[in-house]
Chain A
Amino acid sequence: MLTMLGSIRHRGPDQFGVYQDGEATLGSARLSIIDLENGRQPLTNEDGSLWLVFNGEIFNYVELRPDLESRGHTFRTNTDTEVLLHLFEEYGPECLHRLNGQFAFAIWNSRSQRLFAGRDRLGIRPFFYVETPHGLLFASEAKALLTQPEVTRELDLVSLDQVFTYWSPLRGRSAFSGVLELPPGHLLTHSSGQITTRQYWDLSFPEEAVTKEQVAPTEQYVDEFTDLLCDATRLRLRADVPVAAYLSGGLDSSLTTSIVRSRFSNSLATFSIAFDDPQFDESGFQQHMSQVLGTRHEVVRTTHADIGRVFPQVVWHTEVPLTRTAPAPMFLLSQLVHDSGFKVALTGEGADEFLAGYDIFKEAAIRRFCARQSNSRLRPELFRRIYGDISNLGTVNPAFLSAFFQTGSRDEDSLYFSHLVRWRNTARTRRFLSQEIRHATDGPGVLPRFPAQAPRWGRLQRAQYLEASLFLSQYLLSSQGDRVGMAHSVESRLPFLDYRVVEFCNALPTRLKLRGLRDKFLLRQMGRKFLPPEVWNRPKRPYRAPIYRSFFSPAPDYVHELLSPRSILTAGYFDGQAVTLLVGKAAEGAGLSETDEMALVGILSTQLLHHQFVTHSPYASPVSKNLDDVRIISAPKTRAAAGYAGRSEIIALGDIK
């Protein structure tokens, strides 16, 4: 357990705690944020029967506590951790529905010998587990599990194939064989050697007929949304340490930052990423917003070389093949936040999914229009309007763009219509996978799962479901969120992902989200109250980071080594000839297409994963009882370990609080 904790000490370097009895071992690495003196974990209840390890925050713990006190629960701390424990004691698994937060936790009942675990609705906090012949292992990061000898260290080929189509493994999978992810909105129980999981929450939308109509004036929706978002932000300022904010220069983070400044705080530190490469740089907007809002602003200026330099560390933390480099600057940003003395930062993540800010929603609408109005002369110009700022796409003749997107029009009746072009384009990178992998997996033939009621939703709502359940939950919140933040012990908090905000947005009429090609309509209306017009009216610019120049101008040593024919052959995931041709093309500086760049990052990150986790053991120095703040609680053995002679039935690991 001390080795497991050592492997994730970056997530919680302040205190370590271990509980062990004859059946279970629980461990915690704590990043102390609330009740710094008394929040030590694992935490137990009044009679010592329940033990909790908890990663994350229950933001509404202040509101939940009086009810529990009135029911006779006594509190020894002012933490949300203790509220969670008593809430479970009182309501059992149903407690999950009362939580407003970002969390992954496990509660061991030493009397009934049952373990209960839960993960937040959208998957902001991670939870991985492995079932072994000796019982259940779980942890916040897969690397903690991979330190254990009973866990096989090999990449999951199906997950790898899925990354090369969907940009991430599908729900429930990790990059490693046998290591499973407890999906967002799920709970897990382990009892008598049996593991069961169940979904307790999912994204839901009204039927299409409902979202087609707007029954109240727009201003009424704006007022209600403003109240909700302000309250979501207020809850996310609860901490006994200072809270900072990320400021990207776009509408979403500008709005949450503005709410903090205008409603709750006279002083706020903001942080942002600037790029030396002007194609990606937003620093002008960031500086402007910082001046408008009067924040103390700091910037991490990022070069191509910086991205190439830290990329191996980024992959170590994300633990999954990546198809983009965007997590690397986020990793550098959290380092700056940490070095500036902060543990918590607000971000604007989530608005693009739930208020329809992404181009993919507009693209789907245009493709549908084109399929139905095949003779319209507007068709090419519509595509150019949404893709004009990507690379050199704006210089392509509009007729060709139209023809390109038309290739998916025959799919108009598919529930997956909105995402088929993206997936087909990305799946072109599968040509780099080895023949063995392509033949051994179902590849893109496996589709993400929709809930049964999805056929009755509107088209935009189905697209939102896919974007939120795949891109947001499986990639953005982990590889560009939790993992790169926690790499430097920085917790991000996301007001737009308060479940009340999400459910409110999902119930909105479609035209308050996407009105023609005007995205995030309601948010822009709200933005009028808080922001200058040049911000609330600004077209969205996607956050992107440079790719091939980060690895080939000049190439860091590890790039040469890991992409060499020998390394590719030894690892066995990719077609050596194809990779050699791609590397040659990149090294010539001829410029790579979007697809080529995705393939390049995907191959390089997979090779890094192989090197870091398969070839080598992800061994970490154990937490030291002499050097670290460690408390170990040993309880008397309560029952024979049935069927697992000499071994604990459960080895459990939590972290953070």
Chain B
Amino acid sequence: MTIERQIRDYITRNVLFTDGGIEYDDDGSLLAEGILDSMAILELVTWAQKTFGITIEIRDITPENFDSIARLASFIRSKAPGAERYVSAAGSALDEAAA
């Protein structure tokens, strides 16, 4: 699963509270569209740190890094080049544990 897809899924379920997907592209502004507020940013930061095993500093929480799905995915890749693999591995481990 791509990082973009995971971000979209997270926002859909935990910020928009729906399973129906969100109707904007990866470059759409999350702030201007009213998708995120400043509180939801903090949740997103916490989730990204746990999910991708990265550390996000306060100075990193900027519109340049967080204001669209594409920007956030790019930021995560810059922090952790193996992010997709990390998530896949974590997902497999969870699947095994569940099984």
Contact = CB atoms under 8 A, between A and B. Distances in A.
Instruction: Describe A's contact surface by its main secondary structure.
Output: helix
A195 interface: no
A399 B18 contact: no
B1 to A, nearest CB: 20
Given A397-B60, A590-B46, A595-B40, 15 more contacts: A393-B38, A393-B39, A393-B42, A397-B59, A399-B61, A400-B41, A401-B38, A407-B34, A428-B34, A577-B18, A578-B17, A578-B18, A581-B13, A581-B18, A595-B39
Contacts of B78: none
Given A407-B31, A577-B19, A593-B43, A400 B14 contact: no
Interface string A598-619: 0000000000000000000000
B32 interface: yes
A397 B62 CA distance: 6
B66 interface: yes
Interface in B9-57: 13-19, 31-32, 34, 37-43, 46
Question: Which 4 pairs between the two chains have the least Cβ-Cβ distance?
Answer: A593-B39, A397-B61, A578-B17, A403-B63
A396 to B, nearest CB: 6
B58 interface: yes
Nearest to B43: A593
B63 A400 contact: yes
Contacts of B63: 399-400, 403
A391 interface: yes
A424 interface: yes
Contacts of A594: 37, 39
A575 B16 CA distance: 12
A425 interface: yes
A220 interface: no
Nearest to A391: B39
A431 B18 CA distance: 9
A581 B14 contact: yes
Contacts, number: 76
A296 interface: no
A589 interface: no
Which of B14, B18, B39, B67 has the largest number of chain A CB atoms within 10 A?
Answer: B39
Contact of B58 (A397, A424, A595): A397
B41 A396 contact: yes
A404 interface: yes
A392 interface: yes
A395 interface: yes
Contacts of A582: 17
Interface in A554-596: 575, 577-579, 581-582, 585, 590-591, 593-596
Contact of A404 (B13, B37, B60): B37
A138 interface: no
A396 B42 contact: yes
Nearest to B15: A593
A595 B37 contact: yes
Interface string A410-449: 0000000000000011001001100000000000000000
A656 B17 CA distance: 46
Given A391-B39, A593-B37, A593-B39, A400 B62 contact: yes
B67 A403 contact: yes
B60 to A, nearest CB: 7
Given A397-B62, A581-B18, A593-B39, A404 B34 contact: no
Contact of B43 (A395, A431, A591): A591
